[in-house]
Structure formats: structure tokens, C-alpha cells
Amino acid sequence: MENAGGPFPQSGACYTGHMTNSTQPRQQPGRGPADDGDPPFDLPDAPGLERPSISARALQRPEVPYLENLNPEQREAVEHLDGPVLVLAGAGTGKTRVLTTRISHILASRRAFPSQILAVTFTNKAAREMKERIGHLVGGTVEGMPWLGTFHSIGVKILRRHAELVGLRSQFTILDPDDQLRLMKQVIEAEGLDKDRWPARQLANLIDSWKNRGLTPDKVPQGEGFAFAAGKGAKLYAAYQHRLKDLNACDFGDLLLENLRLFREHPDVLADYHKRFRFILVDEYQDTNIAQYLWLRILAQGCPNVCCVGDDDQSIYGWRGAEVDNILRFEKDFPGAKVIRLERNYRSTGHILGAAAGLIAHNKGRLGKTLFTDDEAGNLVSVAGVWDDEEEARSIADEIERLRKSGHGLNQIAVLVRASAQMRAMEDRFITVGLPYRVIGGPRFYERQEIKDAIAYLEVTSNPSNDLKFERIVNVPKRGLGDTSVKRVHELARARGIAMFDAAREIIASEELPGKARKALSDLVQAFERWRSQIDNLKHTELAELILDESGYTAMWQADKSPQAQSRLDNLKELVRFMHDFETLNGFLEHVSLVMDADQSNDGERVSIMTLHAAKGLEFDTVFLPGWEEGLFPHQRALDEQGQAGLEEERRLAYVGITRARRQAHISFAQNRRLRGLFQAAIPSRFVDELPEAHVEVREMKSPFGGAYANPQNLYGNPYGRSRFEEAQPQFRSSYSTPGWQRAQNARTQQPTPAASRSPLTIEGQLVASSTAEGAGYKTGDRVFHSKFGEGRVAEVDGNKLTIEFKTSGRKRVVDSFVRPI
């Protein structure tokens, strides 16, 4: 839009050789008129020094309030605008604040227009937050930052403008992983391979990893290309890319890869972007993969003012292509880079930081930071050994109850697990004691089957040539169009080079299909045509309702008797409600293809349960970290497959976990864990022993676990062999007089089948009814519905605790707020 080189005062700034100046303070003389608009920020309190001209002072703001709350390092990171900067921001050191203030500063000092700043994040959430915070800082109405977004959203934006240059049309669709897999299957079959021997899943992973590394089919290293299907890996990759082009589609990896191609093959286009971007900012740099790195680097060629913010100690996504190396290598990539360390932590107490620091110090190959705080030392990090995972869940629930009674908000409590399988024990326990919780992560809104189906209907209505979406719902709900019919349509479409939807139309006109299938297909095609003709007449939300209704999709779930059916229907309603936020159907669909998350409603006080990965970037007053056992954390698989690197990444994950806590962290490990159905003895994680003694308090170890902790010499010595906790023997009685345990005992005697129901671990924790009203008034015989266990009948009432005979899950004792009457 506004062309760079336009009216902007400092147009030359990007092209001078600032790299070499990076060790000097700002204020380079003789850089043109714009310097006048650049107040001497480094001398805010030195009025006696040389001052800019009167006219310049009249232009500049009298003060810069947004800079005042920064510490010296943050301030330097904000003000060092020229040349490359790497900000190593430890956990809780104000990383986002630096980023947003820096952008505000660039804007306020008129060094660039909003449209000349490229700011990339990994998640939509991060992008959203940044926008909001910049809005606050700059005050009210910043006209949007068009180039603040995720790598992918910016990639799409660029690609849509120049799609035809890389063999796409600008309306190209973005495949979700489901579509991707379906396409992959087709490619494998088209190649005449046995799809059982060569699973599409595996090929998808392989291709993804190539794309992460910026490799196009012709660049795949020989050896790796042969890894799949006896040497056909690279060939299948090429075929897949070819099919994508046919479909006018892209997968997520392509969004960046095609950008790279575009920039490489069309220097004029690249030059445009070089002119445009004066400042580049990158969040979470430690998480960039090679493709993202290449993308940044090629854009940065035109603009030395690159500022990357990250923390090598929080790199936990190596397994999906993130290269910690990118951040470790920054100074080599950007010669003369200024490296600024943010080490003053504003989040946690001294003991929490001490524990985290001691742990992460065991990693090699760090850039090295030492966090410190002016906060009080606070509570020691607690470490507790428990008998098994059930007791672990029980003691956590008890502690939370205790905190709740003392006024601790549940929203400020989180349980962070290594693997989602651990969540079940927590959920079961929380349900039993009536502790409201929400599960964060898990299948996200747009990944749910019903939502994807609904969107497929909407998408085909809007764009009938989206074959993959058409295939998805052609027989959902079942309308007698099985594999054979679909295959016919598919073959005709391929043979004629037309969309399946059009092929279907032709097939109906012919006599090719048996009467029943033909009728069904004909009805479907007509329905879509009818809906399509309504796009302009009906409000898109009404159209959506109409489609879901007429297609029989809603009816399908209404007829479904599984416990999840109701929540699926609720989700569909939620989807329609969500569509209200958009002007048009197409606007909505574009959003959906890129933004897979929907804002989770924050209803009321709940404990959060999530994986450690999902917790990155969040913080809570109190954090529980269960499952610190060898094999689980560090995970055996990480060790087996990645060796030392895997171990270090696991350790970083532990570091992330501890540093989520503001006031208190509780670590626990079980001596026995139910894994894949059977009990297995476990030994405490080596990470437990790596925690520095001075910051740790061992709980519930005093009498029952006798010896170990009382014998300091056991604490040291062989760090990975024998643990100071290993010999600890649990004795029954320690924590077993707590109210929670008593309650559990009661519950157990009446609940002979613990956790019989095995419904999927979804987000259901947040779907449960929240009417905690005392005496909701259930009586024996009432029919009730539970979002996890399904339908049941009240067998016993004990205050607000109900014993319910569930149809499918057997007898359960739950708190009344978790069920609703039917």
C-alpha cells in the first residue's frame, strides 16, 4: 500500500551500514532531518547538555512516559533501534513488554509508520496480545499494524498478493492437517503403493520435516528421500506438491516455503518488501525453524534493524523443527549484533528462581543467564514423594482445597503435566471432590470433528471446488454414498481435470450410478446449489443454521446417544454464535483456515490443567508439577530418540514448568504409576535431584520416609543413579488423615470401580455445568446428565454429593454441580 520511500522522513535509515555501529549508543550525527524527531532518550535527565533545535523540540514529545517503567536493560532493548539486537529474555523478565514498548517507541519517535514494521509471533494469541498492549501504550487508536502477526498469517498475506508468481491463484485454500492427510493418502495410492505398508501419517511427518527445514522436493537429501517407500520419498513429495497446485491449495508449511520461492525467484518483489520494512521484530526466536529463519534472513537483508527476542532456556519445540541453534548463532548471522540480557525477574520469588536456575544450570550449550529478583525469598519449592498417581492426584486436590479455603483463587492455580495421559487421574479426582477445573489444550475448538464437518459444509457452499472438504462431508451424515460412488466421482474429476463437485453433477446426468446413490448425490448437489444461491440473501449465520439443519447434520447428532453428542451440538451452536463476529461467510472461513484457536470462555474460578508445553508463556500463583519420574519426565522417548539433546530439552521443559509459578511450586513424583493399564514402579526424576538443596523443602517425608532426607550424604554422590528419594518407603498414615483422604475413603467404598468411564480426554472440564448452588435439589431416581459419564439416574443423595448409576459408566459419586437434570 503506502509505498516505502514515500513521505517518510527517514527513508535512508535501513540502508546505511548500521551493523558496525551497534556498539555505539544511538544518536548518530548527520543522519538527516529525522534525527530532530528523535529525542535524546539516553539523556532524559540532562537538560544542560546539547539540545536539539527549538523547532525540533516543539515537534518532540515533552517526555516519554512509556519508557519510565523500564529497567535499564529493558530500556536499552527498547531504545537500541539501529542494527541487529538479540534480547535474551529469561522467564518473567518482561519480554513482551520490551517488544511492545519497542514498537511503540518506533512509532512515537516517528522512525517508521505502523505499516513499515514487521513483527512476527508464533501464535495468534501472542499476536493479539501484542496488538492490544501496543494500543494501550500508544494510546487509543493506533491504526492497525498490518504486518504484526504470526509467521503464517504474514506468509499468507504476502502469498495472496503474488500467488500467480508461484503457480497459485490468489484464492488458494489452506489445507488443515486432515485434508493434508487425505491428500497424502491419495498420492500414495496413485503411486501404486501399499497404503498399509507406507502410512500417510509417516509421509506427512517426513514432508513436514522437510518443509520445516526449507527443503523443496528437489533439495531433499538423497538418503532421506529414500527413507520412505523404498526410495520414493522425494518423488511422493513432488507428487504431493503437484496435487496441491492442482487443487490451488497450500499446506501450512508451504505458506513459508512458497514465500521463500517467491523472494528468490522474483527479486523485484523481494526488493519491494525490503523497501517496506524498516524494523523487524521477532518473538520467541528460540522456537523458529529453519524455514522461518531463512524467511527472516532474506527479509532482513534489506533492513538491518532486526530485533529478536527469545530465551534459549525455554526452547521446548525441537521435536517439531525448532532450532535452538538459530538463537545461539544470532551473533554470527547478524554481525555486530547487540546482545542484551534481561535477567531481572518480576514474576517469581527467590526460591522459585533459585530452584529453576539450579536445574537449568545442568544444561550445556546455553547462552547463559542468571535470573534474579528483588522479591522476597518466599516459600521453598516443595517436593513430595507419593505412593501412586492416585495419591498424587488426591494430595494435589487436597492442597488446592486448602488453598481455596484460605482464599486462593482457583484461576491462579495450575497443574502442569508432562503427558496428557496424566490428566485423567487429576480430572477423576477433581470431579470426585467437586473441584472446578478446566483443561487447556487438548483438541481445540476447530479441530473437533463436528466443527470441521460444519465448516466443510460452509466451505463447499462458498467454494464448491474445494474437493477435500467436499469429500469430507459427502457422506456425513450417512446418505448412502460409499467409497465406490465417491471413487467414481473422484476418478471422473481427475480424468477431466475438474472439481469433484462438477464431476458429481455430470455423473448425476449420466446413468453411471445405481439409482439410490444417484438420488442421494443429486439431492446433495442440489442442496449445495440452493445454499449457494442464498449466500447473498441470507445473513451468513442464518445460512449456516439452514445448512446444518437441511443437510441433516444437526439431526445426526441429535439422534446420537453417546455422552458427547450434546456437547457437540453445543459446539455447533457456539460456532454459529462465533460467526456473528464476522461480516461475511468468506471472512469467517478465511479466519478459520488460519486461526485454529477460538478464545476459550473464562467462566468462573477454575483450576487449570494442561501440559507443560501448553503452559509456556503463562503464569500462576501456585503451580503443581506432578509426575517427576524417570521415564515420564524426562520422557523415555525423548532420551531414546534424541539422547543428550532430548534430555536437555526435557530439562528446559522442567525449567519452564517451575518458572510458571509466582509464589509457590509443588513438585511431586509417584513411586508407582499406572502406565498402559498396569502398575509400574518408578524412580524419581533426575531433575528432582538436580534441584538445589537450598531452595527445596521435602514434604511429607519426615516420619514416613525416614532415612533418606535425614541423611545428607545421600543427597549427593552419583547424580543419576541413586536418588535421595529412591529409598523412601511410604508408610500409611502420613497424609492419610487429611479431610480429602477421608472423603476419598468414603467415596471409594461406594465406588468399587474406580474410573471406569474412559471417554476421551477433551476439554470437557470446562463444559461441565457451573451451578454450584448448594442443594440443587436432586433426589433419588432423578435422571441426570454428566458431560463425561453421560446419562444416569441418582441412586443416593448426600448433601451436594450424588451417587449416580450411569448407563454406560456404572456407579459414580460426583458433586451435583457436575450434572444437570434431563
Q: Which residue lies nearer to DNA by CB, 52 or 441?
A: 441
Residue 752 beta carbon to DNA: minimum distance, rounded to whole angstroms: 13
Candidate list 73, 251, 284, 816, residue with the active-site label:
284
Cα separation, 819 vs 798, whole angstroms: 15
Residue 644 beta carbon to DNA: minimum distance, rounded to whole angstroms: 13
Residue 6: other Cβ atoms inside 10 A? 11
Q: Is residue 713 annotated as a catalytic residue, yes or no?
A: no
DSSP 782-813: -EEEETTTEEEEEEEEETTEEEEEETTTEEEE
Q: Which residue lies nearer to DNA by CB, 110 or 444?
A: 444
Candidate list 283, 399, 459, 649, residue with the active-site label:
283
Rounding to the nearest 10 degrees, give the CA dihedral for residues 400, 405, 406, 412.
Answer: 40
The percent of the chain in helix, strand and coil, each rounded to the nearest 5, is: 50, 15, 35
Residue 711 beta carbon to DNA: minimum distance, rounded to whole angstroms: 34
Residue 427 beta carbon to DNA: minimum distance, rounded to whole angstroms: 12
Q: Which residue lies nearer to DNA by CB, 513 or 548?
A: 513
Largest pairwise CA distance in the chain: 93
Handedness of CA 402, 403, 406, 411 (dihedral sign): negative
Candidate list 16, 96, 750, 808, residue with the active-site label:
96
Q: Is residue 96 annotated as a catalytic residue, yes or no?
A: yes
Which residues are 609's β-sheet partners?
415, 439
Residue 196 beta carbon to DNA: minimum distance, rounded to whole angstroms: 5
Residue 613 beta carbon to DNA: minimum distance, rounded to whole angstroms: 4
Cα separation, 607 vs 723, whole angstroms: 31
Which residues are 815's β-sheet partners?
801
Residue 807 beta carbon to DNA: minimum distance, rounded to whole angstroms: 15
Instruction: Specify whether the backbone of 438 is left (phi greater than 0), alpha (psi in -120 to 50) or beta.
Output: beta
Candidate list 314, 566, 659, 664, residue with the active-site label:
314
Candidate list 660, 663, 724, 812, residue with the active-site label:
660
**DSSP structure class, residue 601:** P
Residue 217: other Cβ atoms inside 10 A? 18
Q: Which residue lies nearer to DNA by CB, 286 or 382?
A: 286
State how far the alpha carbon of 519 is from the alpha carbons of 500, 524, 552, 558, in Å. 17, 9, 16, 24
Residues 453 and 472 sit within 8 Å (Cβ to Cβ): yes
Q: Which residue lies nearer to DNA by CB, 382 or 611?
A: 611
Residue 186 beta carbon to DNA: minimum distance, rounded to whole angstroms: 13
Q: Is residue 95 annotated as a catalytic residue, yes or no?
A: yes
Residues 805 and 811 sit within 8 Å (Cβ to Cβ): yes
DSSP 492-530: HHHHHT--HHHHHHHHHHSS-S-HHHHHHHHHHHHHHHH
Cα separation, 487 vs 493, whole angstroms: 10
Q: Is residue 452 annotated as a catalytic residue, yes or no?
A: no
Q: Which residue lies nearer to DNA by CB, 88 or 520?
A: 520
Residue 478: is it exposed, middle or buried by C-beta count within 10 angstroms (0-12/13-18/19+)? exposed
Q: Which residue lies nearer to DNA by CB, 184 or 458?
A: 184
Residue 814: other Cβ atoms inside 10 A? 25
Q: Which residue lies nearer to DNA by CB, 45 or 196?
A: 196
Judged by the rule CB under 7 A, the positions of this chain that interact with DNA are 122-125, 150-153, 177, 195-196, 252, 319-320, 418-421, 441, 444, 475, 478-485, 517, 594-597, 610-611, 613-614, 635, 637-638, 641-642, 646, 650, 674, 676-677, 755-756, 758-760
Residue 57: other Cβ atoms inside 10 A? 13
Which residues are designated catalytic? Answer: 95-96, 283-284, 314, 660
